[in-house]
Amino acid sequence: MMKDMRPESLMMSHGYDPKLSEGAIKCPIFQTSTFVFNTAEEGKAFFELAYGLREKEEGEQMGLIYSRLNNPDLQILEERLCLWDGAEECAVFESGMSAISTAILCFCKPGDLLVYSNPVYGGTDHFINHVMTKFGVHVMGIDPTDSLEELKAAIGAHPAANKLSMIHIETPANPTNKLICIKDMRALADHFKQEDRSVVLSVDNTYLGPVYQHPLKHGADLVLYSATKYIGGHSDVIAGACMGRADLMMEVKTMRTFLGNMAGPWTGWLLMRSLETLQVRMERQAKNAKHVAEALAKHPAIERVGYLGFLTEADGKQFEIFNSQCDSAGAMISIYVKGGEKEAFAMLNKMKLVKLAVSLGSTESLAQHPATMTHADVDPETKKKFNISPNLVRLSVGVEHYEDLIADLTQALD
Ligand SMILES: *Cc1c(COP(=O)(O)O)cnc(C)c1O
């Protein structure tokens, strides 16, 4: 019965049994590195399962061993995160970058081809172009506004096309809010699959998820998060998550065990606390963003506002994708001011309530300058091609009263 309830109804209790913790209504922080086995036989059995040396017996549960492998704060958190995306398994990490890098390392080996959408988060872009290439992985950035046929031809022309092992996309894209059709990317991945290998499709869902977009339902294999953003939501913790089918997640979790980049119990506890208010925060933020975007669009110092809620039929495919894939326009706004860096900086320097800081999805509104901050390291041609221009300010709308936000942004623009 509990399974049929909505995720927001289950975030306070799912997966936690108070009887196991002296009746405490909330899951305690299991600040422990290791767990005592009742018998040596039990320890042996747990390790057999942890290392996949044998299959689970009927009704057998994986026991607690050591906090690099598992910990109650992480396990309960992972079960709760699965509910939002309808995932079979989840792994939580100490940062979004560790979730992304671990997933990529898991499915790409030397000689393979890794395809990614442009633009992606600056850190992801760096990891793909400057770290994976060092390990002999071929990488190729695509323009996701190209048609499926154009993309098939472009990837097909790459010398390592028959070794395509992973497609990593980000939709909506950070910082431009451009949308990518996940179903098309599934078709693209399947087009290049070989008899003995499939192509893993991963989606960074940080911008709209886990409430407003569910990539697994549209054909993605893995969904990735910077849980630092909406999931954490209070600018007080760095964390990440990766979710998907059990067989793939088994590989990701094994890689996590040996890289040792799992989140600690305190991070797990903080994220469980955050998940209780995830839905109300995101609803409020999305409502605020609509008011703020509408007000900004009318300001004379603004050239253009990139906000998913402004898409109309005239936007063609972008509008179609929005309707088929997104449950809300979310709370991220790309503001193109009139002028260049000087004008963008003037706005950022004059804000009072909205804070000038990178990151997003938090209770407080944040604004930053992608071209010189989060995406400073992206190569200049790519920046130019995908509109990460000097006059772009990225705004993440928080839970304040929208009239106060509008007043602050208006005085900064004036
Ligand atoms: C912030 C962010 C990341 C990186 O996450 P960290 O938690 O900072 O490591 C990855 N992808 C997107 C879209 C992000 O916004």
Nearest ligand 1 atom to alpha carbon 170: 13
At residue 1, does pLDDT exceed 60?
no
**Which residue, judged by its Cα, is nearest atom 1 of ligand 1?**
226
76 domain residue, yes or no: no
CATH of the domain at 313: 3.90.1150.10
Q: Is the CB of 102 under 6 A from ligand 1?
A: no
Q: Is residue 295 part of a domain?
A: yes
CB 240 near ligand 1, within 6 Å: yes
Q: Which residue, by CA, sits nearest to atom 7 of ligand 1?
A: 96
Co-location of 200 and 95 in the same domain: yes
Q: How many domains does the chain have?
A: 2
Q: Rounded distance, CA 239 to CA 258, Å? A: 18
Predicted structure pTM score: 0.95
At residue 3 the predicted structure's pLDDT band, cuts being 50, 70 and 90, is low
From the CA of 206, give the closest atom in ligand 1. Answer: 13
Domain assignment present for residue 308? The answer is yes
106 and 240 in a single domain? The answer is yes
Minimal-distance CA residue to ligand 1 atom 2? 226
Question: Which residues have a Cβ under 8 Å from the Cβ of 46 and sit 6 or more positions away?
Answer: 37, 62, 63, 64, 65
Domain boundary among 264, 299, 323: 264
Same domain, 110 and 154: yes
Q: pLDDT tens-digit profile of 394-410? A: 999 999 999 999 999 99
Q: Is 172 in the pocket of ligand 1 (CB under 6 A)?
A: no
Same-domain pairing of 260 and 354? no
Q: Please work out whether the CB of residue 229 comes within 6 Å of at least one atom of ligand 1.
A: yes
Could you tell me if residue 97 is inside a domain?
yes
Instruction: Give the HSE-up count for residue 269: Cα atoms under 13 Å, Cβ half-sphere.
Output: 9
Ligand 1 pocket check for 226: Cβ under 6 Å: yes
CATH number at residue 92: 3.40.640.10
Question: Do 93 and 140 belong to one domain?
Answer: yes
**What is the model's pLDDT at position 79?**
97
Q: What is the pLDDT of residue 2?
A: 55
For residues 254 and 151, membership in a common domain is answered with yes
Whether residues 293 and 259 share a domain: the answer is no
Is residue 366 located within the same domain as residue 236? no
Of 172-176, 228-232, 280-284, 355-359, give the lowest mean pLDDT range: 172-176
The model's pLDDT over 221-239, given as tens digits with 9 standing for 90+, comes to 999 999 999 999 999 999 9
What's the whole-number mean pLDDT along residues 340-361?
97
Last residue of a domain, one of 242, 264, 286: 264
| Mean per-residue pLDDT over the chain, rounded | 95
Question: Do the domain assignments include residue 169?
Answer: yes
- Domain-embedded: residue 70: no
Q: How far is the CA of 216 from the centre of ligand 1 (A)?
A: 19
Q: Is residue 328 domain-resident?
A: yes
From 234, 264, 294, the end of a domain falls on 264
Pocket mutation for ligand 1, best pick of 228, 234, 374, 378 (most atoms within 8 Å of C-beta): 228
Q: What is the pLDDT of residues 249-307, one digit of tens each?
A: 999 999 999 999 999 999 999 999 999 999 999 999 999 999 999 999 999 999 999 99
One domain, residues 245 and 312: no
Say yes or no: CB of residue 396 within 6 Å of ligand 1.
no
Q: What is the band of 315 on the pLDDT scale with cuts at 50, 70, 90?
A: very high
Host domain of residue 340: 278-413
CB 238 near ligand 1, within 6 Å: yes
Residue 166 and residue 210 in one domain = yes
Residue nearest to atom 6 of ligand 1 (CA): 96
In this structure, the answer to whether residues 100 and 244 fall within a common structural domain is yes
Q: Mind listing the pLDDT tens digit for each residue in 20-79?
A: 999 999 999 999 999 999 999 999 999 998 887 888 888 888 899 999 999 999 999 999
- Which residues are known catalytic residues? 68, 121, 204, 229
Residue 379 has pLDDT above 70, yes or no: yes
Contacts (Cβ under 8 Å, ≥6 apart) of 29: 73, 265, 266, 269
Closest CA to 97 of 114, 61, 76, 122: 122
- SS3 sequence, the chain? CHHHCCHHHHCCCCCCCHHHHCCCCCCCCCCCCECCCCCHHHHHHHHHHHCCCCCCCCCCCCCCCECCCCCHHHHHHHHHHHHHHCCCEEEEECCHHHHHHHHHHHHCCCCCEEEEECCCCHHHHHHHHHHHHHHCCEEEEECCCCCHHHHHHHHHCCCCHHHEEEEEEECCCCCCCCCCCHHHHHHHHHHCCECCECCEEEEECCCCCCCCCCHHHHCCCEEEEECCCCCCCCCCCCCEEEEECHHHHHHHHHHHHHHCCECCHHHHHHHHHHHCCHHHHHHHHHHHHHHHHHHHHHCCCEEEEECHHHCCHHHCHHHHHHHHHCCCCCCEEEEEECCCHHHHHHHHHHCCCCEECCCCCCCCCEEECCCCCCCCCCCHHHHHHCCCCCCEEEEECCCCCHHHHHHHHHHHHC
Same domain, 131 and 220: yes
Could you tell me the distance, in angstroms and rounded to a whole number, from the CA of residue 120 to the centre of ligand 1?
10
Whether 11 is in a domain gets the answer no
